[in-house]
Amino acid sequence: MNKSYLKIVTRAIVACLLFSSCEAELDLPPVDEFSPENVLQTEAGIESLLFSAYANDILPQGNVKNEILVNEITTDMSYVRIGAVERELTPFLNFNWDASDPFFQAPIWNTRYQAIRDANTVLENIENTSIEASEQQRIIAEARYLRAAQYAYLYRYFGVVPLRTTTDQEEQPQALPLPSQEEFNSFLETELLAAAENLLPPAEQAQRGRATKGHAYAVLTKFLMQTRQWQKVVDMTGELMDLNYYELYPDYRELFFVENEGNNREIIVTWSYANEAGFGNQFQNGAFPPGFLEADKIPEFTWDPSMANWATQFSIKDGFYDSFAAGDDRKQAIIETYTNRAGDMVNLRTTPDNLRSLKYFDNNQVGNFSGSDFPYIRYADILLSRAEALNRLNGPTQEAVDLVNQVRTRSIDAPYTLSEVGDRDSFNEIILQERSWEFYSEGKRREDLIRHDKFIDYARARGLNAQSHQIFFPYPQGEINTNPELTQKEGY
């Protein structure tokens, strides 16, 4: 703590700014009051550490684009070309990444383990404070949620990772073996359920983005989906739905509008961004086509010279776009044509796989920094997860079909019937397809294809030399070098 407490306080202030109404909720004392001997003995100090964990739970501004791109350009959905981002992500396009890639170490592994460290520090020191017992319970629940959420996030990339539950290894990394899959599963489930007991219901949490019971249930649902624990998915989605709080936003296009972020009960877990330096969502800068001014499909937005438009090009593949039905409103955010700043109409179809997703535009963007939040887990995901789990267990049922239709008919008036979805396998295909239409540009396609055992096959069909071990990424080489108990994944 002597070496890092000032950095922790700084991150805490950053995290505070990301919460609505934070100023009214948390009155941080001046930085010079956070001396090493008292930072962990006051409520403000403990809350600062907690908010530092929150800050690391939200990917830094430049990396939300990579969160989307890495999980989509490795699939049949998206593409990237031109510039520094293409150079950085070419290994992911070509399925030849390795453990030395800096993407795995800094924005993924380090950031998440920093959040884990902060949460562990809170848990180890909160009993030394005079904080009231009820408030201690709330803070402990948030810290346990934040710690478990990082492990759930890391699992998406690496599978099982070392479980660090104390801070005694922070200054000098020591040998820390991998848990078994069963131990890892049990830890996450136990932690998230225990956290949920003392987290506030979403209707009672005034600070948008701060953990609630819904956060814990949603993160656990997604982890149970990844580990194919179907009955537990059904149970957990039931708990979340029984909160009677979350609902689909009436209009698909508008649920991503910046002005609707504060009154949107569909987005359960969000990464909050602001249109100012150090806080912005940078995905749209690469999604804008050259010279973009406006597009008929998104009349709400017009580019102006204060906004960045990068040379790099994040695009949607033609085959994915063409898979949408003609009347599906979800494709409205994907443009085929636009007007450039010279007043010319440009057809993006003249270049293959060059369509653009403008889901996250912000009319008040300043330079590189858009204020559009990133919806990490939405209620639509919960409904489709429950439908998939029910189908995996029992085959098609009316309840599962109805769940899919809740999501589908918001955007297209063409509900499925029980008789037309076919057997278990064909309904699985329908659900997978619905998920692609619903969650493009949200970084879910890779994990969905992995869960359906299609990720490697789809890559090979594109002519890539994809190997079965590539359903997970390698542990960062730096971690292999410092942890003698950590053996690299087979195949890397």
CA 201, CA 283: separation in Å to the nearest integer?
Answer: 31
Instruction: Kindly state the tokens that stand for 442.
Output: 């949200």
Of 244, 265, 74, which is closest to residue 156 (Cα–Cα)? 74
φ/ψ (deg, to 5) at 375: -85, 95
Predicted local distance difference test score (pLDDT) of residue 173: 56
Predicted local distance difference test score (pLDDT) of residue 54: 93
Bin 403: left if φ > 0, else alpha if -120 < ψ < 50, else beta: alpha
Return per-residue pLDDT of the chain as tens, 492 residues.
333 333 444 444 444 444 443 443 334 344 444 454 566 778 888 999 999 999 888 765 557 899 999 999 999 999 999 999 999 999 999 999 999 999 999 889 999 999 999 999 999 999 989 899 999 999 999 999 999 999 999 999 999 999 999 987 555 556 889 999 999 999 999 999 999 999 999 999 998 889 999 999 999 999 999 999 999 999 999 999 999 999 999 999 999 999 999 889 999 999 989 888 878 899 999 999 999 999 999 999 999 999 999 999 999 999 999 999 999 999 999 999 999 999 999 999 999 999 999 999 999 999 999 999 999 999 999 999 999 999 999 999 999 999 999 999 999 999 999 999 999 999 999 999 999 999 999 999 999 999 999 999 999 999 999 999 999 999 999 999 999 999 999 999
Tell me if 473 sits within 8 A of 104, measured CB to CB: yes
- Domains present along the chain, CATH in parentheses: 5-198+474-482 (1.25.40.390), 225-272+378-445 (1.25.40.390), 277-372 (no CATH)
* 407 CB-near residues (< 8 Å, 6+ apart): 248, 380, 383, 384, 434, 438
CA 196, CA 282: separation in Å to the nearest integer?
Answer: 32
Predicted local distance difference test score (pLDDT) of residue 469: 98
Classify residue 278 as exposed, middle or buried by CB count within 10 Å of its CB (0-12, 13-18, 19+).
Answer: exposed
Instruction: Kindly state the tokens that stand for 313.
Output: 């090009």
CA 95, CA 97: separation in Å to the nearest integer?
Answer: 6
Predicted local distance difference test score (pLDDT) of residue 477: 97
pTM metric for this prediction: 0.92
φ/ψ (deg, to 5) at 298: -130, 70
φ/ψ (deg, to 5) at 367: 60, -125
CA 402, CA 158: separation in Å to the nearest integer?
Answer: 34
Angle of helix 181-198 relative to helix 213-226, nearest 10 degrees? 160
What type of residue sits at position 157? Y
Tell me if 212 sits within 8 A of 198, measured CB to CB: no
